[in-house]
Amino acid sequence: AQSVTQPDIHITVSEGASLELRCNYSYGATPYLFWYVQSPGQGLQLLLKYFSGDTLVQGIKGFEAEFKRSQSSFNLRKPSVHWSDAAEYFCAVGGKKAAGNKLTFGGGTRVLVKP
Amino acid sequence: NAGVTQTPKFQVLKTGQSMTLQCAQDMNHEYMSWYRQDPGMGLRLIHYSVGAGITDQGEVPNGYNVSRSTTEDFPLRLLSAAPSQTSVYFCASSYSGLAGLGELFFGEGSRLTVL
């Protein structure tokens, strides 16, 4: 069965500092990996995705993520955090349509940004 | 663009009552799904549909029914509400070919409380 673990429930970071959110996954085949962001009271928005190829992927809002197959990880990073980055972030793993259209989410990491 | 629209945004029910959460999308997406979000558990898939007339169960289908009579609409029915169904519910849609790849578009959520 596929699963996602986000070890950090909350992270507090100062504005302008760097941010890294951890994601570990379990998947029986080649995974498709995603990061979504949820602002308070809103739905989820796709930040970036990894399907294949270059293991460092760029997303919106200045975020990037690196796929490390040997570590089953897909960590999200941002070099300099802005106050508007305060939100909850979800890592997700899925596969091809033949795998059943199931996208499994991690428990989320809530990011607080200090002035 | 309206995107994915959910109604109502808030609802309070008593145990045993029934209700329907509405979801409509105007993007001509074949794939639609319902998730519930609970603290620390991420999003869990309830039911999904790959086209009009086709539905299937996700991870946590018990206590919920769905139908898909049109491409645009995918209502979620609670036949006899229980306190364990207190949650935030999200509807999400995607082009069918991409559904297994996780590029979902989310509604803003419906917060349900069952007393």
B65 to chain A, minimum CA–CA distance in Å? 18
pLDDT at residue A100 above 60?
no
Say if residues B1 and B26 touch (Cβ distance below 8 Å): yes
Distance of CA A63 to CAs A78, A81, B8, B36, B63, Å? 5, 10, 33, 26, 38
- What pLDDT is attached to residue B3? 92
Nearest residue of A to residue B98, measured between CA atoms: A97
Q: What's the mean pLDDT when you consider all of chain B?
A: 90
Other beta carbons within 10 Å of A81: 20
Across the range A20-43, mean pLDDT stands at 89
B39 Cβ neighbours under 8 A, 6+ residues apart: none
| Closest chain B residue to the Cα of A34, Cα to Cα | B102
Instruction: Give the pLDDT confidence score for residue B99 in this predicted structure.
Output: 47
Chain A residue nearest residue B43, CA to CA? A105
Per-run averaged pLDDT (10 residues), chain B, 115 residues: 90 97 94 90 88 90 96 96 96 72 83 96
Rounded mean pLDDT of chain A?
90
Q: How far is A52 from chain B (nearest CA, A)?
A: 12
Cite the beta strand spans of chain B per DSSP E: 4-7, 10-13, 19-25, 31-37, 43-51, 54-57, 64-66, 76-78, 87-94, 105-106, 110-114
Query: Distances from the Cα of A109 to the Cαs of A45, B6, B58, in angstroms?
Result: 15, 25, 23
Instruction: Note whether A84 contacts B: Cβ–Cβ < 8 A.
Output: no
Q: B76 and B29 in contact (C-beta within 8 Å)?
A: no
What percent of chain A is predicted at pLDDT more than 70? 94
**Does residue A99 have a pLDDT over 90?**
no
Least confident of A23-27, A92-96, A102-106: A92-96
Burial of B11 (0-12, 13-18, 19+ CB in 10 A): middle
Q: What is the pLDDT of residue B75?
A: 98
Residues paired with residue B64 on neighbouring β-strands, in sequence order = B78
- What span, in angstroms and rounded, lies between the C-alpha atoms of A100 and B3? 24
pLDDT at residue B81, rounded to an integer: 96
The residue ranking higher by pLDDT, A5 or B42, is A5
Strand partners, A109: A89
Contacts of A107 in chain B (CB under 8 A): 40-42
Segment A36-88, tens digit of pLDDT:
999 987 889 999 999 888 899 999 999 999 999 999 999 999 999 999 999 99
